[in-house]
Amino acid sequence: MSVSDETVLHCYRFLLGREPEDPADIALHAKAANWQDLRHAFINSAEFHQGVGKELTANIAAIGQLMGEKDNNVEVRCTPEQLQAMFNGIAANWTKFGETEPHWSVLTNPVFFQDTLQEHLDSFFAYGKVDIEIALNYLSRAGLPATGFDSVMDFGCGVGRLTAALAPHTREILGVDISPSHLREAAKSMELLSVTNAKFAQIKTVDDILGLGTFDLVYSRLVLQHNPPPIIAAVYERLLGTLRPGGVAIVQIPTYLKGQKFSVTDYLAGTAPTMEMNALPQHEIFRIIQQQNCVTLEVRECTDLRAIEGVSHTFVVQKQ
């Protein structure tokens, strides 16, 4: 089975940073057996290694780094009032992103700024399909169904990039976000992409998550890292709390950032970055998994922390 011309075009744009020079080049690459083989051909090309690839690989976090680090220096416990204050600050920042650069805030590539978005919009959503195909492989490897769900939650859905990619695999999908401006864009995206089984909900507190219903699959990627550690922990706990028996959560979380020190008091007394990056120590994550009566199916270190010295993991857990 060959790949589409559109997929080839996305590879040229994302991996080589240019448009194809000759239509015959597209036809040639479209003969690849699948998108994995196509990607392999591009990233092993001389052009990739000499140009864009050299820059990209320099900014992708290596697997297995920071093995000698000893301290976390991350405070996770806080009062309900402190938790809400942090939540409100994050919501205000992301609402502004949704009003100004909603797509760029989801994937921080300059081609997704509003002034160049339209010519790259197809690539924006196509990239989401690749993310979801990879995510569903976790389930297949565990011997679980990877499609045909009754209900799915896309947490931190933004403009619906991954909501749209998950929609064909479930009867209904709920996109959840703290930013009303992103959710408005997400609704427009579903109409544009003819997705009819998606709904959206805004949360104003972490406890709102528990009122969203129960789900067969909860998915979140490149979301929790933009929250303070106490928020990451509280949200992850509640996400696992929405799983039905046998349901699975696939959630990406940074687990270590070199030099990170987090104090609740200092954080609330200072000015947080507009788009912050934080990690939650792995022992806290495993504590929450056990507390929520879940078992771990797979933990995969991933290269999500570009240009930042840190460690990120995807946790795949199932409700008992």
Angle among Cα 210, 213, 218 to the nearest 5 degrees reads 85
> What residues have CB less than 8 Å from 113, skipping those under 6 apart?
101, 103, 104
Lowest mean pLDDT among 13-27, 48-62, 244-258: 48-62
- Does the pLDDT value for residue 309 go beyond 90? no
Q: Does 109 map to a domain? A: yes
Band of residue 37 on the pLDDT scale cut at 50, 70, 90:
confident
Q: Does 72 map to a domain? A: no
* CATH value at residue 253: 3.40.50.150
Same domain, 53 and 177: no
Report the alpha-carbon distance of residue 250 to residue 217 in Å, rounded.
8
Q: Does 274 map to a domain? A: yes
Query: If you compute the radius of gyration of the chain from its CA atoms, what whole number of angstroms results?
Result: 20
Report the alpha-carbon distance of residue 144 to residue 249 in Å, rounded.
13
Q: What is the mean pLDDT of the chain?
A: 91
Lowest mean pLDDT among 48-62, 99-113, 204-218, 257-271: 48-62
Domain carrying residue 93: 80-319
Instruction: Please write the tens of the pLDDT for every residue from 110-123.
Output: 888 999 999 889 88
Q: Does 159 map to a domain? A: yes
- pLDDT at res. 3: 81
Instruction: Please write the tens of the pLDDT for every residue from 57-86.
Output: 555 567 788 888 888 899 999 999 999 999
Instruction: Please write the tens of the pLDDT for every residue from 257-270.
Output: 998 999 999 999 99
Q: Does 304 map to a domain? A: yes
Instruction: Please write the tens of the pLDDT for every residue from 138-178.
Output: 999 999 999 999 999 999 999 999 999 999 999 999 999 99
Same domain, 115 and 190: yes
- pLDDT at res. 54: 55
- pLDDT at res. 163: 98
Same domain, 179 and 315: yes
Q: Which helix (H) or strand (E) holds 255?
A: strand 243-257
Same domain, 270 and 202: yes
Same domain, 171 and 113: yes
Report the alpha-carbon distance of residue 135 to residue 124 in Å, rounded.
17
For the chain, the domain total comes to 2
3-state SS class at 61: coil
How many angstroms from the chain centroid is the CA of residue 30?
A: 28
Token pair, residue 300, equals 């995969």
Report the alpha-carbon distance of residue 3 to residue 131 in Å, rounded.
17
- pLDDT at res. 196: 98
- Does the pLDDT value for residue 127 go beyond 90? no
Long-range CB contact pairs, 199-204, < 8 A, 24+: 199/172, 199/173, 199/174, 199/175, 200/157, 200/160, 200/174, 200/175, 200/176, 201/174, 201/175, 201/176, 202/176, 202/177, 202/178, 203/176, 203/177, 203/178, 204/91, 204/178
Angle among Cα 10, 14, 17 to the nearest 5 degrees reads 110
Same domain, 100 and 235: yes
Same domain, 44 and 117: no
Instruction: State mean pLDDT over 31-57.
Output: 73
Write the burial class of residue 232 (CB in 10 Å: 0-12 exposed, 13-18 middle, 19+ buried).
Answer: buried
The pTM assigned to this predicted structure is 0.84
